[in-house]
Amino acid sequence: MNTQNIIMVSVILVKLLSSGFLLLFGKSIGRFAKWISLLVSFSSFGLFLVFIPALQNGEIPSVVFDYLPTMGIQFSLKIDWLAFPFLLTEELVTIFAIVYALDYVKTDDRSHTFYALLLMFSAGMSGTTLANDIFLFYFFWELMLIASSILVLNWGESEKRNGVTLKYFIITHLGSLLVLVAFIMIYTQTGVDNFSAIKAGLQANPEQIPLIGSLFLLGFGVKMAVVPFHIWLPDTHSEAPMPVTIMLAAAMLSMGTYGILRFPMSSLSAMQFSMFALPMMIVGVVSEIYGASMALVEKDIKRIIAYSSVSQMGYILYGLGTQTYSGIVGATLHVIYHAIVKALLFCCVGWIIKATGKRDIQALGGMHKKDPLLTVCMVLGGLSIMGVPALAIFNSEWMIFSSGFQTPYTGLAMLEILGSILTTAYILRFIGKIFFTSQDEEFSIQKVPFSIKLATVSLTILTITAGLFPKPLFNYVVNELPLILGGQW
């Protein structure tokens, strides 16, 4: 193995080995477990950054190990421009989630297990993104689900955590099984599990494209939590401890988008994929409007931001469905921007809950006087998700909106834009009620741990920076286009 191969394997292995170490020996090292997990997350991110020069030079770093050669099964990893934005998102979100957890998670005789599972959860996402064969992809895909389910089950915030975890596991696993069926159908035809075989298998059997493509879109739609597959999301995001919620909302949801881009959109031509375009756009608009409408009437502040994710995933699915340059680039950018802003909004919600002990929006008010720093962070996060210029999300939203008018479905494009008014409505309700409306019943403010403030302020700065300087990310993301829909742009 050369140095590049070792580094690629290490992006995943450093998390998995550290996770195993913390599970075995974390109890004896106590409070050092959280610092080890933070160091590991920064190390993994640093290893990932090493690949940027190689990608810019036109290289596609990869590594292959034979596993079951008689069955055509390999362990294969690869990073290309399609994987890059998603791996960037996962690595950044992991760092912020662990920073947030430093003072949020009480150090006790099982806190080391919490950090071990966070690293395992992150390794599952990184492995899914780097995998270049069906076997490895599905292994890491399920590792994400197992690690996150254990976290919700053991550190859930109410007595409902058992039922919530069961619903989350069953629904998302059903989506995984749909993807698995598509994989098995392709493997049966080709006898090879490398991703290149997926395209060859579909092109050799075009009559199966409608079925296999539908299985992929339905399975990955469950992970994206678009309507009607969203039913696991509000309860899970609301029940999970905040660091896990941040990873679920800001990183794991993007795995559904990655799956759609990596499989049906990379394996089919634009003409072949066009049969799915209109249904995707319709479901995208429905998800956007439904999620925003539920956020507008919800009272639990954590569920309000959770429903916001359903709405934002609708934007992404709509952009992909347009099959246009601006729609696909805008949707991929939206994955990154949504991760930054949604992590920020959940950090603010966690700050509110820690400071007040309240989650009911009706019981809160006047926070702008009680905590000016939190107010600034929340206002900037809210303005960003509303699509205000000079902040993250405006740039991707602009591209997604414009892509709709490049299709024959102008009515849908107008509905997509009008639906965004609901986003403005629920954010203004959220900020107005909690921060700028007086509260008849006074409540005290508790001291908020430094790590929560650090993660929140850092994400606020990143939100402004990403909005003001979109060019670097745009230049990275646009490189994925030759890998999608036959590369004819």
Mean pLDDT of 63-71: 78
In tens, the pLDDT along 17-65 reads 999 999 999 888 878 999 999 999 999 999 999 999 999 999 888 888 8
Q: What is the DSSP secondary structure assignment for residue 361, as one 8-state letter?
A: G
Average the pLDDT over each of 7-11, 61-65, 187-191, 353-357 and give the range with the smallest value. Answer: 187-191
Cβ atoms within 10 Å of 366's Cβ, excluding its own = 16
Q: Is the pLDDT of residue 69 over 80?
A: no
Report the 10 Å Cβ neighbour count for 106. 8
6-15 burial code (b ≥16 CB/10 A, e <16): ebbbbbbbbb
Question: In this structure, what DSSP letter does residue 293 have?
Answer: H
Per residue in 255-309, pLDDT tens?
999 999 999 999 999 999 999 999 999 999 999 999 999 999 999 999 999 999 9
Give 181's Cβ-side CA count (13 Å radius).
17
**Phi, psi of 406, deg, nearest 5:** -95, 5
Helical H runs in 357-371? 367-370
First-to-last C-alpha distance (Å) of the chain: 36
Residue with tokens 């003409």: 271
Here the tokens at position 382 are 């809210």
Secondary-structure breakdown of the chain: helix, strand, coil percentages, each rounded to the nearest 5: 80, 5, 20
Print burial letters for 63-83: b (CB count within 10 Å at least 16), e (below 16).
beeeeeeeebbbbbbbbbbbb
**pLDDT score, position 446:** 87
Mean pLDDT of 328-342: 96
Interval 239-249: pLDDT, tens: 999 999 999 99
- pLDDT reading at 189 higher than 90: no
β-pair type (73-78, 62-68): antiparallel
Side-chain-side CA neighbours of 187 within 13 Å: the count stands at 15
The model's pLDDT over 382-424, given as tens digits with 9 standing for 90+, comes to 999 999 999 999 999 999 999 999 999 999 999 999 999 999 9
Cα–Cα distance measured from residue 487 to residue 489, given in angstroms and rounded to the nearest whole number: 6
| pLDDT score, position 440 | 63
pLDDT, position 231: 95
152 CB-side CA count, 13 A: 29
Where residue 298 falls (left for φ over 0; alpha for ψ -120 to 50; beta otherwise) is beta
Whether this prediction's pTM lies above 0.85 is answered by yes
Residue among 80, 66, 197, 77 at smallest CA distance from 131? 77
CA angle at 230 for the pair 183 and 397, rounded to the nearest 5°: 95
Closest CA to 217 of 190, 178, 255, 274: 178
Q: Are 219 and 142 in contact (CB under 8 A)?
A: no
The DSSP letter of residue 226 is -
Q: Cα dihedral sign for 355, 358, 359, 361?
A: negative
- CA distances from residue 5 to 13, 19, 93, 194 in whole angstroms, order as listed: 12, 21, 24, 18
Q: How far apart are the C-alpha atoms of 199 and 474, rounded to whole Å?
A: 27
The CA distance from 416 to 401, in Å, is 7
Q: Tell me, what's the pLDDT at 180?
A: 95
Cis peptide before 228 (omega within 30 of 0): yes
Helix (H, G, I), strand (E, B) or coil at 74: strand
Q: Could you give the CA distance from residue 253 to residue 58 in angstroms, rounded to a whole number?
A: 29
List, for residues 262-273, the tens digit of each pLDDT value.
Answer: 999 999 999 999
What CA dihedral angle connects 94, 157, 311 and 477, to 10 degrees? Answer: 0
Strand, coil or helix: 175: helix
Joined together, the tokens standing for residue 139 give: 């292994």
Write b or e for each residue in 197-232: b if 16 or more Cβ atoms lie within 10 A of its Cβ, otherwise e: bbbebbeeeeeebeebbbbbbebbbbbbbbbebbeb
Average pLDDT over residues 215-233: 96
Taking the C-alpha atoms of residue 236 and residue 232, their distance in angstroms, rounded to an integer, is 6
Radius of gyration of the chain (CA): 22
3-state secondary structure at position 329 = helix
Rounded Cα distance between 116 and 483, Å, is 35
